[in-house]
Amino acid sequence: MRYKLKAFTLTELLIALGIIGAIAALSIPSLMNAINNRMMVTQLKSNITAIQQLASDSLVTSSSRSLEDTDFGDPAKLLTEGNFAIQKKCPDPAADCWKTTAATNKIEYKNQMKVVGGIAGATYPSVILKNGTIIGYSKTDSEIKGMPDDKIIGEFCFDINGNDYPNIAGRDYFCVYVTKKGKLIDLPDTNINTETKIANCKAGIGGSNQCYGAIVDSGWTMPY
């Protein structure tokens, strides 16, 4: 018995390869974006964890209930080698350290892709860490809605990958408040829900803080 062998023609193979290539062209950018976002979130979490640990250790070391009695009460004392692995201390004003991140002291927002707001960090006492992060810290004193037994003592703003791109609030630029009791919070109003934070992050409304809050609320994933 003779069997008739069947195989794909060259034309069919080329069509199949073309389809595979088209699918890859559509999916690879999305996959790369997801990988980059994950890397950004990992870097963000690493910096936040270090700040949280420093705040907790400072309270223990000072035997105090308030960070006011620690180096957190003075940016000049906080941003030192004893607390951070510093590569460079920025001049005052610190805008020069943030120059690539913020030409004209501004930053882009993810959804609008245009310069829409000033970088708070560029006006804060700042340092560049050995891991490349630019970090600024400003002392403040304000109430927290929803936390009447605590107050904000200061705000950290940082670009987690330094002067490298994308230089976009919610991607590599974030701000976070620290309270006198050593808690890290995104906003002075703890009653704002995750959906509102995501919407405000996309709209560029307090983006650097609200994007951070949206990430934390979403289990350290970038939901926008």
Can you tell me the distance from the alpha carbon of 114 to that of 93, in angstroms, rounded to the nearest whole number? 25
* Residue 105 confidence (pLDDT): 37
Is the pTM of the predicted complex or chain greater than 0.85?
no
- The pLDDT score that the predictor gives to residue 24 is 65
pLDDT digits (tens, 9 = 90+) for 86-103: 999 998 877 778 864 444
* Residues linked to residue 154 through DSSP beta bridges, in sequence order: 139, 178
- For residues 113-125, average pLDDT: 64
CB 33 within 8 A of CB 208: no
pLDDT level of residue 75 (50, 70, 90 thresholds): very high
Backbone angles phi, psi at 128, to 5 degrees: -105, 125
Q: What is the pLDDT of residues 19-72, one digit of tens each?
A: 877 776 666 677 778 888 999 999 999 999 999 999 999 999 999 999 999 999
Please check whether residue 156 is in contact with residue 51, taking contact to mean a CB–CB distance below 8 angstroms.
Answer: yes
Distance CA 103, CA 98 (A): 8
**How much is the pLDDT for 101?**
47
The answer on pLDDT for 82 being more than 80 is yes
Residue 116 has pLDDT above 70, yes or no: no
Q: Which residues, other chains included, contact 59 with Cβ-Cβ below 8 Å and sequence gap of 6+?
A: 65, 66, 67, 70, 181, 182
pLDDT band at 123 (very low <50, low <70, confident <90, very high): confident
Whole-number mean pLDDT of the chain?
A: 85
pLDDT digits over 163-206, tens only?
787 778 888 889 999 999 999 999 999 999 999 999 988 887 77
- Mean pLDDT along residues 115-134: 80
CA distances from 82 to 62, 76, 98, 129, 168 (A): 15, 12, 23, 12, 30
Binned at pLDDT 50, 70 and 90, residue 104 comes out as: very low
User: Phi-psi bin for 105: left (phi > 0), alpha (psi -120 to 50), beta?
Assistant: left
